[in-house]
Amino acid sequence: MSRNDELADRFEEFADRLEATGVEYKPQSYRRAAENVRAYPESVESLVADGGDGVEAIEGVGEALAAKIVEYVETGAIEELEELRTELPVDMATLTSVEGVGPKTVGTLYDELGVEDLDDLETVAREEKIREISGFGATSEENILAGIEFARQANERSLLGDARPLGEALMEYVAGGADGAVERCELGGSLRRWRETIGDVDLLVASDDPGSVVERFTDWDRADAVIEAGTSKASLRANGVRMDLRVVVPKEFGSALQYFTGSRDHNIGVRNRAIERDLKVNEYGVFDVSELGSDGSSDESDGVSDVDDPESGQRVGERVAGETEAGMYEAVDLPPIPPELREDSGEIDAAAAGDLPVLVELDAVRGDLHVHTDWSDGKHSIEEMIADAAEFGHEYVCITDHASGPGIVADTGLADDDLREQRGAIEDATAAVDADIDVLCGVEANIDADGGVSVGDEVLDDLDLVVASPHSGLDGDGTDRLVTAIEHPHVDVIGHPTGRYLNRRPGLDLDFERVAHAAAEHGVALEVNANPHRLDLSGGAVRTAIEAGATITVDTDAHRPASYELLRYGVHTARRGWAEVDDVLNARDAAGLRAFLAD
């Protein structure tokens, strides 16, 4: 997570705490500033380093907010926010993660019942005390109680989109030590497998000077607290995320990277192949144990006793691999398996049979088919979104502003007449942009409760591409609803099919196999929405779609130019679903895309 994101989080918390205490107007100013700080292309650190005056260049940031940005960058805290936390000692982020509980509700529950955290909330809900407060009732109380368990599970894990940038910043910092102690440095664990949520950040370092690496790790100025520090291991907490360091000798880096990337079940599968070949696999390497005696000892000694080296028992036998990760797989007669596939979902058998997919790469994606502008709820003009798509490197982009309908913020969705007018505006903006990029005119229509699409057929017939997405009624089984939308003759893409919002709401229950077969039959692509809050379809659903013969598209749902950078999260999610280039609609050139749309 960047400093811009950290500050945006702080400003959003500011807004929530002010709203919870009944302050008017100010919360909206903080939320607007948070949004603009998060999207600002330059780091706040660089703006502060230039004397602090540049901070006010961020839209919505005046003198008072600029001072808070400088204070946070220089001290790591904002005194006024700390005072608000003292005045209202509640776990705001966790409580508001319960569906139906907003900042004002948090303030009321604290004032009336002393609720500070999820445990308190669950207690008063079970004791039926919430319904006794004016403005609440039995239904509100039951809904809150139903949302608590989901909130508990969600708050145990961080979003990939928060943890990955934070881990990358730490990796860059540790690797940049002036003493040259770091030979290699990589992220591991679920973060390296690009899981949609992660428990903690694992950082693996190869070095002959572990003490120096540990010291640099624990000196990171973005750490909130150092949890522990040993001779070759350490842990700290930054922005609420636990970050673990492990330093290994360079010759064992490959084996450690394979081991600490996981998953556990994948590693068990590799270990079982090793056993079949009289080999032993662990974090220290691959060892030939065929010559070991029945007591587990070797006839030869390397001169190091178990007393001198407690880990030597793990290094018994002739070491045949471990310096590189590829060598670990080669030792058990497998080609290297990409980290995204290491979930014990058939990847080892596929590797052994020579059937691993050639996974889609980030640079294979040629365009974005789901982009918003300030005609609906986007933050930038059509011309800006086109120009920035071209600068990002896209060969084409499709403008798909929201149509009006259920689940769309009031006054931001476009009526049919607006969509007709927008077509001309898109053509004018395309002509005004000095860039070689193909621009398509589209819409993100809403899938109604019965599967209908919230735009008239005459308008849809005049558009280049139609994304249809669920935005309301996002609970229960939505399979029939999506299949009906897929069967609509004008629908080209189903956007964020479940409507989930990670760590906030689970979204629709879907029979993915049935949805996927319908999409394949009707030539409709299923979207992998790359926004880290969504990653919808999930990796598992992508694989189901591909096996059914359906096409996927990886889009950012960008509401601002900075969001084009989110594409990597969608691509890695598609890779977790075994997606190859031919499976991805927007990996085709513009002619190939238009041919798909014309079918």
CATH number at residue 396: 3.20.20.140
Q: What is the rounded CA–CA span in Å between residue 402 and residue 233?
A: 49
Residue 272 belongs to a domain: yes
Same domain for 418 and 322: no
Q: Are residues 128 and 32 in the same domain?
A: yes
C-alpha span between 481 and 492 (Å, rounded):
16
Domain total of the chain:
4
224 is a domain residue = yes
Global confidence as pTM: 0.80
Domain boundary among 95, 124, 154: 154
Amino acid 145 reads L
> Domain span at residue 282?
254-335
Write down which residue in 200, 219, 248 finishes a domain. 248
What CATH code is carried by the domain that includes residue 199?
3.30.460.10
Would you give per-residue pLDDT tens digits along the chain (599 residues)?
577 888 888 999 999 999 999 888 888 889 888 888 887 777 888 888 766 567 878 888 888 888 888 888 888 889 999 999 999 999 998 898 888 888 999 999 999 999 998 889 999 999 999 999 988 989 888 888 888 887 777 677 899 999 999 999 999 999 998 688 999 999 999 999 999 999 899 999 999 999 999 999 999 999 988 999 999 999 999 988 899 999 999 999 999 999 999 999 999 999 999 999 999 999 999 999 988 753 344 333 232 233 334 455 678 889 999 999 999 999 999 999 999 999 999 999 999 999 999 999 999 999 999 999 999 999 899 999 999 999 999 999 999 999 987 767 666 789 999 999 999 999 999 999 989 999 999 999 999 999 999 999 999 999 999 999 999 888 889 999 999 999 999 999 999 999 998 988 889 999 999 999 999 999 999 999 999 999 999 999 999 999 999 999 999 999 999 999 999 999 999 999 999 999 999 999 999 999 999 98
Whether the CB-CB separation of 405 and 471 falls below 8 Å is answered with yes
- Identify whether 348 is part of a domain: no
Distance CA 297, CA 281 (A): 16
Q: Which run of H or of E encompasses 369?
A: strand 367-371
Question: CB within 8 A of 385, min separation 6: which ones?
Answer: 371, 372, 373, 378, 397, 399, 558, 561
The conformation of residue 286, written as its DSSP 8-state character, comes to E
Any idea which residue has 């409580």 for tokens?
95
Q: What is the DSSP letter of 439?
A: E
